[in-house]
Amino acid sequence: MNQLKAQFLVFWAAREPRERTFLVTLVVLVVLALVSQTLWSTYQARTRLRKQIPELAHQVEDLQRKANELQQIKSQPPAALPADGNALLATATAAANSVRLPEVVSQMKLEGPRRMRVRGALPFDRWLDWTAALQRDGQIRLVSCRIDTGVGPGTAMIDALFALPEPG
C-alpha cells in the first residue's frame, strides 16, 4: 500500500499545476456522475416498487382466499362414489338431467362393472357440460374419447369411455 502511495505522489509531483487542476476536476465530475446515477437508480427502483406493492398485496389476498377455499374443500367429506355399474348409470343419468341432456341416457352402456361407454350424436356444448359434471360431482373420469363432426350444427358424433376411479 505504501508503495502505491509513493508511486502516486511521484506521479502527482511530475504533473504541471494546470494538469493537476484538470485531473482534480475530472475526478470530481466522475464522482458526481456516479452519485447522480446511484440516486436516480434508487429513485426509479422506489417508484417501481410503489407501483408493485399494491399489485403484490392483491395477489397475496387472492392466494390467501384460494388457500382458504382449498382448505374448505379438503375439510368437506368426500362425495360418495358410485360403487358399481348401476350406481354409475344412475349418477350419469342424474348429471344428464341436470344439464338438460336426456338424450344421452339412451346412448349409455356399461362395459364392465366400473366402465360406461357413450356413443351417438349429441349437442356438443351440453355434452361438455355433462362430462364436466361427471368429473366434478361424480368423480367419474373420462378415459378416452373420439369426437367427429355431427350431422347438424352444434352436434358431434361422440364415442367416449368413462370409468370410476379405482378403489383404495
Whether residue 78 is predicted with pLDDT greater than 70 in this model: the reply is no
Whether residue 167 is predicted with pLDDT greater than 70 in this model: the reply is no
Read out DSSP for 110-151? E-STTEEEEEEEEEHHHHHHHHHHHHHHS-PEEEEEEEEE-S
Tell how strand 115-123 and strand 141-149 pair up.
Answer: unpaired
Q: Give CATH superfamily name and number for 85-163.
A: General secretion pathway protein M, EpsM (3.30.1360.100)
Assign 3-class secondary structure to 38-82: HHHHHHHHHHHHHHHHHHHHHHHHHHHHHHHHHHHHHHCCCCCCC
Instruction: Report the chain's mean pLDDT, rounded to a whole number.
Output: 88
pLDDT of residue 80: 53
Amino acid sitting at position 128: L
- Can you give the pTM of this predicted structure? 0.51
Least confident of 26-35, 68-77, 150-159: 68-77
Whether residue 86 is predicted with pLDDT greater than 70 in this model: the reply is yes
What cell numbers appear for 64 in the block?
Answer: 390467501
Q: What is the mean pLDDT of residues 29-50?
A: 95
The DSSP code for 164 is P
Cα–Cα distances in angstroms (integers) from residue 103 to residues 2, 50, 122, 150, 155, in the given order: 96, 57, 8, 15, 12
Using the structure block, give the residue that is written with the C-alpha cell 341436470: 98
pLDDT of residue 168: 55
Whether residue 126 is predicted with pLDDT greater than 70 in this model: the reply is yes
Least confident of 1-15, 41-55, 72-86, 120-134: 72-86
Higher pLDDT, 80 or 17: 17
